Amino acid sequence: MEKSIGYPFIVQMKESFQTAAKLFLVLEYCPCGNLRRILRKQRGDRLTELQARIYVSEIAMAIEYLHQNNIIYRDLKPENVLVASDGHIKLTDFGLSRELGEN
């Protein structure tokens, strides 16, 4: 999949390059880590109701955007939901994603 995606709740790829043995991707920096890390820091491994509402809404909007662009995101888990410095989420890891019409 080589489609360019630009959406506030999806991590942006800034650059890519490769050596003879490795491929490197330079992604947008999300200093707050992933949702799994945030859950572990919370009391009882739970988000507040407000946090949950915001994160679920942003995840739903990101997935809706992908579906509108014929991309199926197939690896939703806390480790693949990053949190940016502004507190908003960024979906990452599109390795299992498929474009509609692909085999």
45 is catalytic: no
Helix (H/G/I), strand (E/B), else coil: 86: coil
Which H/E stretch holds residue 66?
helix 49-68
Instruction: Select which of 45, 75, 86, 93 is catalytic.
Output: 75
Q: Annotated catalytic sites, by residue?
A: 75
